[in-house]
Each structure stands twice: as structure tokens, then as C-alpha cells.
Structure 1
Amino acid sequence: MSAVMETVNETTRPFIAVTEVWVPKDGRLVWSSGDYGALADFAAISEKQSFAKGEGLPGKAWAEARPVVLKGFDGSYFLRAEAARVAGLTSAVAIPVFAGNDLKAVVVVLCGDDAERTGAIEIWHEENGLLLLDDGYYGAARHFEWVSQHTHFPRGQGLPGGVWAANAPMLLRDLGSGYRFIRADSAGRAGLTTGLGLPIAVPGRRTYVLTLLSARGTPIARRFELWNVRSSRSGAATEAVLADGICQREGPLWDDEHERRVAAWQGAVGEALGSGLPLVRTDTALLTAGYASMVALPLYRDGVLAHVVAWYY
């Protein structure tokens, strides 16, 4: 591993401590994959857990068919509260993945809270023609949280409004100085650098947008990739083409002169494409490339797989 890679790993801490995927099986949500870092005891408990519809955080996201933020576990419906407390985890966000009315999976991310961990995981919902903050977790970025609670977006404005208008994932760089990011001043003060916005499809006509805002010292990820899905005439997803991407080490990943694509079941992104399910990977190939883990999240539009978003730490 290069000296540069070692420096990056030693001086940065992930904003998200745990990512896990739950899939429906026999009327319950069961564990599918996850990254728990050094939290082996919490991983062992989680892998044996399952949730009925409406039970626990994954079951609540399933039953209510919407993303759910839980900022505290004590006295809540979070079934692993004691194990989370021992592991130093304090907050979680559950993101359901629906294809039309069919639940494919629930992705849960968990965070710890301290004075240094800065970033944002936000859920925005549409109300009376505007996107309003449904809820979010911000770590130490308290002022940015206050600004976000008092901000709304019309269609096409800012990162949430841009995702809403395009009904597609978007990446924004240089949040603290970018004119397209409405909260640029407070983002700069919080040290936020990169924004990823995702449309979250749910049954019915409700609009939800998920935004992941990454800071340099405690990044959500060190690499982001947005892939557009191409399908056969029969409707089967056959390949994905890289539409945008950014990496801390490599800079921009997308090049219109050299198209990058993956076929279904080719690598981790291809597996998400072929299966239509989100996944978390922590394997030797990632370690060789300098990453501890990666998440691949399929996004559906009108019940059809339209995008795969991947992030690596």
C-alpha cells in the first residue's frame, strides 16, 4: 500500500460506522450483508436478527414505506439498543428499496456521536410543492443542522431540488463554494465538501430525496460512482454505464471519451445490477484497491431498475 494511501486511512474516520442490508424472506426481513468495521460483537448479534413488518427500525421503514431517521435508541423501538450502546452507536437511518410496490430490501446505516464526527444524512419530503426536511443526522454540524431545518427547496433548486426535478441521483463537489448548493456558507463552515443526492422511490405518489453530505475529516465515502442502467428489449437490466463519479485520490472518474461500463453480475456493481438488490462488500479486492468496504445501491423508477449508486470507504 502506498504512503499516500496509508496517510488517507490514518487521518480520516468514517462518518457512518455500520452499513447493513436486510431482505424479505418468508414474511420477515433477514440479514443479507453488512460492514461493521471493528464492531464484531454487534455484527454477530445483527446477523442472527430478523424483523417482522413494523418491527424494529428496518420493519418500520418497510411498514411505513418511507425512509426513517432514528436519532436515539434508548426507550425506542430499536431492538438492538443495548448492543448498539455498548458498540458506541447512537443514531440510524433506514432506507427502503422498492420496485413499484415490491420491497426489495432495507438498507440501514448507523452512526456514533462525538465532537469530531461531521457530515449529514438527510431525508427530504415534498409538501405543497416544496421539499422540506423530514429529518436528518448531522453529527457535530449543529449550525448546519439548524440551517437545514429552516430551508426548503422548490423543484430544481439546490441538491435536493435538482434530484427531485431529474428523478435521478446527483453529485455536487465543493459544497462550501458551489453556487448550486443553497447552503454553501454553512456547509463551508461545517467542512462539508461533497454531496450525493438520491431519489427514494416508494409506493404511491410521495416524493422522498436522500442526501449524503461528506466532510474531509470524517467522510461518508472516499469514492462515489453513479451508474445508469441499460436494459434489453425484454426489460432485463444488462449493463450499467458510469455517468458520474469522484474519488479523493483520483479526482473525477467520468470521461466522455472513454466510456466505462459493467455487465450484469460483473463485480460488485454488476451484482447489484443483476440481482436488483443492494449489497455491502468487504473483500480482498477492495483492500487491494485501498478501500475497506463498498456499498452498491440500486435505484428504481416506475418499478424498473434505473441506476446503481456505489460508494467506497
Structure 2
Amino acid sequence: MTSAQDLVPKTFIRVIEYWVPSEESGVLEFGGGSFGTATRFEAASRNLCFGRGEGLPGQAWEAGHPIVLKEFEGSYFRRAVPAKAEGLTCGIALPIFKGQQLSAVVVIFCGDDAEHAGAIELWANDPAESKDMDLVDGYYGTTGDTFEFISRATSFRRGNGLPGMAWDKQTPVFLPDLGKASGFLRADGAIKVGINRGFATPCSTIDGTNYVMAFLSALATPIARRVEIWEPDVTGTQLLRSFGFSEAEGMLGESEIVAASEEASNALGRAFATGVPAVAAPMIAIPVAPEGNITAVMALYF
């Protein structure tokens, strides 16, 4: 029997992996991930390691902030051949700092084709120079030049637009219908190219700058099958789901409280306590840590 979940089309995010620093060797080692059907890419990744500045994870480690890589071939990316074989077209690396220490580097890979639309955007604000958040770089795939042009000409104040909302809240923001979302300032341009979902999360840095990563996707290629945002209670020992949306079920209702500790039996609690992503297939839990302070855990299901 086919379930409702089985009817959800393939997602814009195809692979998420994470790399953890080794105190002994001083490199990033493979920590785990969610690879779906990209088995060849997973096999090519498991035995790798990256020093500072090496490959996409090492570049983000060295920079201390997120990095978007729009072209794999001819770049410093070390797995271009298996990535192309799996239909992966772009990637973004997100360092996660807990306090001043790097706890992990998350790398998210996406894919699209002629029938699907999606975009990755990286927005940044340097408070010493401006009150605005501007586009650093983006991958716009098959959305065309018009929406990219609009995005590059747009700036956001704190609290305004999807990037500004995530910057202000310091937690992820998900908009399931951009056409009806008053907080999305580029709705007309997005609708014209088929984009209808938006997801933005503040990113981890330790130098006082503010970064926000945004995913925009079309109905045919949703960002993920299910997106959840979990936030700590006042004690910081438990997590509550503050938002949940499933492509198969729509908005999700209230959920159980989960414990947050390094010994927690659930991936969400471990990710919050340690600052390192955790996998409980088909879900990966990723800590959100702007300025080195973990404010939430985003759970993405594939």
C-alpha cells in the first residue's frame, strides 16, 4: 500500500552530512549524515578527512562562516565525480560553534533539473558597517536570472523579510506558502518562477557578523519531506517543538517534550546538548547556534 509520505516528490535538499574536528589529528573527520539514495556519494565520503582550507568543509572551517559552492567541477571540491553521478548540483557548508569551539561542519547538498526550481541564498550583516543584511552569494539553478537579480538588489533590516526574520528571532523560520506570507518581500518574483516554500536559519559565527542561510523551493521539489523546529524550555533541559510542517500532512500539532542532554536517547536532545548533529533515520537533527549559543534544533526528514 502506498502511504501519503511515499507520494511526496523528491526534495530539493538531497544529502546532509556533517564533519567533526579530531583533537588528535587536527582535521575534520566524517561524523555521519543522511544520504537517501545517494549511496555512491556516501561511500566516497566516509573515509575522507579535511584540514583547514581543504575541500568544502575545510573552507568553511577556515573562514569561520558559511560558504556556498555553486560549481563543483574545476573547484576545490574533492568529490565532483560522485556528486555529478548522484545529481547533486550545489552545496553549502555551515560551521557550528559551541561557545568559541568548532563542534561540527554541516554540508548540505541540493539538486534540481529542468522541471524543478529551487535556490540557496546566503545573507550577511556586518554590524560595524551597516544595519542591513545583504546577499553574499546564492545558487538559483533553473529559476532564471530575474529572481536572482531581484535578490541581489534587495537588502533586509532586522525583522524584515525571510532573512531578516531569522536574524531577528535567532531561530529558524519556515514559510510554507510564500504567496500568502506577509513576511516574504519577494513574493511576486518567487511565484513567477514557481517558488512557494521558504526556510531560513541563522548561522554560527564567532566574529560578531550575522549570517542567515535561506532555502527557497518549488512545489515539485519541496525543501524536505518534513521540517520541525525545536526550542529549549526555560530550564534548558527540555525541548519543545515550536513549529512543524509535513508535505504529506500539512501543519503539525503539539508534540511530546524531549529531554536535552548528551546522554539523551533522542537525536534532538543530543544535538542540542553537544552542538553536533545527530541522525535518527529518516531525520537529521541539526543544532542552530548563532554567536556560539545554541538556540534551537532543526529537524529535517527525507
* SS in structure 1 at match of 2:295: strand
Q: 1:132 aligns with which of 114, 131, 134?
A: 134
* Cα offset, 1:218, TM superposition: 0.7
* Cα offset, 1:30, TM superposition: 0.7
Please list the CA deviations of residues 260-291 of structure 1 after superposition, one character each: whole Å capped at 9, or x if unmatched.
32113242222322432113443xxxxxxxxx
Is this contact kept in 2: 1:222–1:311, CA < 8 A?
yes
Note the 1:83-94 alignment, pairs <5 A: 83-94=82-93
* Cα offset, 1:111, TM superposition: 2.6
- Segments of 5+ residues of structure 1 without an aligned counterpart are 283-292
Aligned to 2:6: 6
- Segments of 5+ residues of structure 2 without an aligned counterpart are none
Please list the CA deviations of residues 35-76 of structure 1 after superposition, one character each: whole Å capped at 9, or x if unmatched.
223232221110010000111110000000010011112221
* SS in structure 2 at match of 1:195: strand
- In structure 2, give the amino acid aligned to 1:16: I
Q: 2:286 aligns with which of 267, 275, 297?
A: 297
1:311 aligns with 2:300: yes
Aligned to 1:23: 20
Aligned to 2:53: 54
* Cα offset, 1:186, TM superposition: 1.4
* Cα offset, 1:246, TM superposition: 1.4
Is this contact kept in 2: 1:19–1:107, CA < 8 A?
yes
- In structure 2, give the amino acid aligned to 1:124: W
Q: 1:192 aligns with which of 190, 195, 199?
A: 195
* Cα offset, 1:294, TM superposition: 2.0
* SS in structure 2 at match of 1:19: strand
Note the 1:228-267 alignment, pairs <5 A: 228-230=231-233, 232=235, 237-255=236-254, 260-264=256-260, 265-267=264-266
Report runs of 4+ in structure 1 exceeding 4 Å deviation.
none
RMSD: 2.0
Is this contact kept in 1: 2:34–2:284, CA < 8 A?
no
TM-score of the aligned structures, taking structure 2 as reference length: 0.89
Residues 100, 61 of structure 1: alpha-carbon distance in 2 compared, 3 angstrom cutoff: same
Residues 58, 302 of structure 1: alpha-carbon distance in 2 compared, 3 angstrom cutoff: closer
* Cα offset, 1:183, TM superposition: 0.6
* SS in structure 1 at match of 2:83: helix
* Cα offset, 1:245, TM superposition: 1.6
* Whole-angstrom distance in 2 between the partners of 1:301 and 1:160: 14
Q: 1:166 aligns with which of 169, 172, 185?
A: 169
TM-score of the aligned structures, taking structure 1 as reference length: 0.86
Residues 30, 165 of structure 1: alpha-carbon distance in 2 compared, 3 angstrom cutoff: same
- In structure 2, give the amino acid aligned to 1:7: L
- In structure 2, give the amino acid aligned to 1:159: L
- In structure 1, give the amino acid aligned to 2:210: T
Residues 299, 73 of structure 1: alpha-carbon distance in 2 compared, 3 angstrom cutoff: same
* SS in structure 1 at match of 2:224: coil
1:38 aligns with 2:34: no
